[in-house]
Amino acid sequence: MSGIEPYMVSNGATLLLLAGVGFAVRIVRRNRLWREAAASLWRRRRLALCVLAVYFVIALLDSVAWKGGVPEHAVGVLPNAPHSIVDRFFLDTTEASYSAPFAAVEFYGDRPLRHPGAHPLGTDIIGRDVLYMALKGARVALLIGGLTSLIAIPLALMFGVGAGYFGGRFDDFVFFLISTLASMPGLLLLIALIMAMGRGTVSVCVALGVTSWVGFCRLSRAETLKLRELDFVRAARVLGVSEPRIIFRHILPNLAHLIVITFVLMFSGLVLSEAVLSWLGIGVDGSWGQMIDGARDELSREPIVWWNIAAAGTALFTLILAVNTVGDSIRDVLDPRTQGDAP
Amino acid sequence: MRSASFARLVLGGLAGLAALVMGCGNDPYPPSDATARVLYGSFVDAPKSLDPAVAYSQREHAITGAVYDTLLEYHFLKRPLELIPGLAAALPEVTDLGGGRSRWRFELRPDLLFHDDPCFTLSAPEARTRRITSADFAFSLARIADPKVGSPVIEPFSNIEDFQAFGERLAARRASDPEFAALPVHAQYRLVGPIAGVATPADSILEITLARPYPQIKYWFAMEFSAPVPWEAIAYYDGEQGRPRFDDHPVGSGPFQLTRYDKRAIFVLEKSANWYGVRHPEWRAPGAVYPSEGEERDRAAGRLESAGRPLPMIERIEMRREKEDIPRFNKFMQGYYDNSGIAAENFDTVIREGALSPEMEALGIALDKEVSPTIFFLGFNMDDPVVGRGRDAAARKRNRLLRQAMSLAIDGEEFLRIFLNGRGVPAQSPIPPNIYGYDPDYRNPFRTPDLERARVLRAAAGYRGGVDPATGEALRLTFDSYNTTTAGLIQHQYYTNAWKKLGLDVRIEAVTYNQFQDKLRNGAHQVFEFGWGADYPDPENFLFLFWSAMRNSASGGPNYANFADDRFDALFLEMKVMENGPARMAKIREMIAILEDERPWIELMVREDYLLRHGWLANVKPSGLSIPTYQYLDIDVERRAELRVAWNEPIVWPLYVLSAGAVLVVIPGVLTYLKERQ
């Protein structure tokens, strides 16, 4: 098989991400302000950070895949297909249909399971291990939150900083653009974009990105308007420093705390937005939103099937809670206006 | 003093609120309708078109079937289904004209009227309706032939002499003569000349001449496509000057008239005073009187108790749109809908061991079960190089073995158990139960799941371990579907997981219905999911789905698998014109044997419809066909009103508890606040 396959791209992206994390750690360690902020954050939100680290590690384990090494007798496993580390823990674990957590028989009909007692969170209607699906959802959630933020934040910065710094017609244009976008029903625009681009993770991320940059654009524009009048920016201009350099050297670093805070707070909103899209049938395959959508009518079954929705709901809730908690603390730590308010 | 008066005010307000709540109920209908003979039901999907020449789905037939009456109709109780006269005074006389041609002569009942409608002012200024003549049937048939109408049933009617040529003449004249194209359609039809095979020698006589043998034509005269349509309605309802379009405003001659239509919310049908059964009960016409003959199970179910009563027995039908299963079912349980299907989620509450649960029986709810002549299948695109017929003998054999292996991996019985609570029959051939040619003892050797045998066949096809030798990877196929919901995706994953057990990598491509249709048209599909419901109770209506003339890629017909086999075609053309009997059965068996080996379909299941109804609703008997039978229904309105009240008694004690809590919490707080202010 020739050419670059999706799993290779995923492996490459994971390596890049790890390198990026290493780079960020290095920057934090070398900069006193960031180092103190990180230490303060760790002191305040140890548990939430540990939870995020667990999700991150699960997502990484699900992002690294390779071919081969699959037992020949494994049923329902494509031998030559790439399998991630998470996949490899759950090879050949499917049952025929529903089974409750740690059950030895099927939930409806009492047929014996192929792997009795081996499903801590039970199985779904087509016998897939719910723990496996919940773990797989972590990668999707982080991908949506991360990739969409990487689309939305640069977009917002490009327009916001540009409008704030240059003003004039460009500012008028950006303001017209964000006012127009803000006056469109967000959900309808999202649905229209996804229908136009087709379903898929990238389409959903692009659509979410395109519809969620407006708020941060306003914020960065306002902040830039303030920054460009400050002495150090004026001085740079008087000294003949080029405008791109002023933006990259003096404006953007002073927006760094806003970028970090927005990234974290936007992240949780985006993960929840995907759940809403899944509810509407246009979400991302393998997401917790899709698990919740698939399980919504199971609550009215008799006897009730609760483990699907409970697993997806708990995984989603825990991630959002951890992200929001950490986000609030980051704001407390980095935003000079809240310095001293925090405990 | 001030605080005491405030407390009195609060207490008075709460008492007033309690009194108001006591008087409230949850009944969504006006009190005046409590004892009216109204059928209340629900629908899920909004109808697309109510034009009888176009409407071809159950959601549309739920309205058009009641509004439009047909020359023939089906006996309500007899099974197998039997045709009886409707607007025709008797079943048609058939004359053999030789050379395969035949003449079908229908005599219309006298004094048939259309529903009252303003459109008839086009023919006479004061007219509210007019008499139906054979010319109205000829006009309806011309509309089917008219390419501009876009009727999906041109093919079966093309057996009528000159039918297709009429459509071609019409299209050519419209293209060449703009003045002609601007005329109203009835004038265009008149100028292009009648269809030679449709004659109206008298107002009450309609003669149809078939160019070739096609005995199934009689069933098409029991469907709304051929129902009489007034030319005035087509001319009047053009969507201009605030008038609706004809496909949203049907004008027919059936037992019910559409009086309210909001396709996204509600439709209301009311008994038509112009229907021949209402105007002439003395005729005792078979389609206008409740039948006195039926099956033994009808007697046991009390369905013969209404024998001899004039139809329709209900005055009005109100259908409300309910998109979600659970609210629909809850309203049924409250008595606000008279009947309901059963959502998979409620199944275990409602059904125990194939019968109603004791709790449901105690409520007087009844269950009607009927195997529907609708088959669901997974198809292969036979034009595809990997799963299709193949270009040479080697490819033909390899692809056939692959299809056979994939067929053996899908367990129809397990599918039914998991997704439909076992409601249905695993399909063994394309012919479902209740259709001539169905053999309950037939077992398709490729429809009994056998993974080991499937692996042997897959290996014989050249895909050892599921690996495609051309790529060294698992053989990659696509599964195309138009169901993009999460529930649909889970069903698709059921199939793809089954094929994964053979080492095949089948990827799901769920797209919108229009995109799916495009894929079918362009032959861009590989493996797909589809269903087919009977139009009429004849095996031809299922086996024509494999006739090469119906190939979707070639003719746009419903042979979506694009199956083509000379031997099958020859057998089909012979079987099509035969009367039911051993010779026809032998042909059908031979055709099924070809399909069994070739596997253009993986027959999945035939669904069994479970219909719940309240005890007050009588005479429910599903036909399996897309034909509403509202006129036969009867309702014990007093019993319904009584039980609705009993089942929806407001539970007010939580309000009292809350009110008491409010008194205990709010008043002392307010009193303290006022005291402190003083």
ipTM for this prediction: 0.81
pLDDT, tens digit, for every residue of A31-85? 888 898 899 999 989 999 999 999 999 999 999 999 888 887 777 788 788 999 9
What Cα–Cα distance (Å) separates residue A201 from each residue in A58, A150, A194, A285, B493?
Answer: 19, 14, 10, 8, 18
Best mutation target, B324, B329, B342, B345, to test chain A (most A CBs within 10 A)? B345
What Cα–Cα distance (Å) separates residue B634 from each residue in A197, B259, B567, B619, B625?
Answer: 51, 21, 50, 6, 21
Are B491 and B419 contacting, i.e. CB atoms less than 8 angstroms apart?
yes
Are B531 and B375 contacting, i.e. CB atoms less than 8 angstroms apart?
yes
Give the model's pLDDT for residue B336: 95
Architecture of the B52-251 domain: 3-Layer(aba) Sandwich (3.40)
Cα distance between residue B364 and residue B640, in whole Å = 11
**pLDDT-derived band at A1, boundaries 50, 70, 90:** very low
Q: Please tell me which residue, B443 or A190, carries the higher pLDDT value.
A: B443
Check whether domain B372-609 has CATH 3.10.105.10, yes or no: yes
Instruction: Tell me whether residues A300 and B326 touch, CB distance under 8 A.
Output: yes
3-class DSSP assignment, residue B354: coil
Give the model's pLDDT for residue B164: 94
CB pairs under 8 A between A and B: 75
Q: Which of A78, A125, A301 sits opposite B348 (nearest CB)?
A: A301
Tell me the shortest Cα–Cα distance from B504 to chain A, in angstroms. 7
What is the pTM for the complete model shown?
Answer: 0.77
Low-confidence spans in chain B with pLDDT less than 70 = 1-11, 14-24
Q: Which of B326, B419, B465 sits opposite A297 (nearest CB)?
A: B326
Instruction: Tell me whether residues A80 and B501 touch, CB distance under 8 A.
Output: no
Instruction: Tell me whether residues A78 and B471 touch, CB distance under 8 A.
Output: no
Most distant pair of Cα atoms in chain B: their distance = 110
**Joined tokens for residue A167:** 């003003």
pLDDT, tens digit, for every residue of A80-136? 889 999 999 998 888 988 999 999 998 877 789 999 999 999 999 999 999 999 999
Contacting residues of B for A300, CB less than 8 Å apart: 326, 343, 345-346
pLDDT, tens digit, for every residue of A236-260? 999 999 999 999 989 998 898 889 8
CA dihedral B611, B617, B623, B626 (to 10 degrees): -80
Q: What is the mean pLDDT of chain A?
A: 88
Contacting residues of B for A125, CB less than 8 Å apart: 418-419, 490
**Which B residues 323-382 touch A at CB under 8 Å?**
325-326, 343-346, 348-349
CA angle B443, B448, B453 (to 5 degrees): 125
pLDDT, tens digit, for every residue of B589-630? 999 999 999 999 999 999 888 889 999 999 998 888 888 899
**pLDDT-derived band at A342, boundaries 50, 70, 90:** very low
Instruction: Tell me whether residues B348 and A109 touch, CB distance under 8 A.
Output: no
3-class DSSP assignment, residue A33: helix
The pLDDT of A250-272, averaged and rounded, is 88
Instruction: Tell me whether residues B500 and A301 touch, CB distance under 8 A.
Output: no
| Beta strand B527-533 pairing with B476-481 | parallel
Cα distance between residue A87 and residue A93, in whole Å = 10
With an 8 Å Cβ cutoff, is B201 touching chain A?
Answer: no
Assess whether pLDDT exceeds 70 at residue A337.
no
Tell me the shortest Cα–Cα distance from B348 to chain A, in angstroms. 6
Question: What residue ranges do the domains of chain B occupy?
Answer: 2-24+650-676, 52-251, 372-609
Question: What residue ranges do the domains of chain A occupy?
Answer: 142-341
The CATH H-level (homologous superfamily) assignment of domain A142-341 is: MetI-like (1.10.3720.10)
Q: Please tell me which residue, A298 or B532, carries the higher pLDDT value.
A: B532
**Joined tokens for residue B306:** 């209404």
Give the model's pLDDT for residue A317: 93
**Joined tokens for residue B319:** 């259908």
Give the model's pLDDT for residue A343: 42
Residue type, B595: L
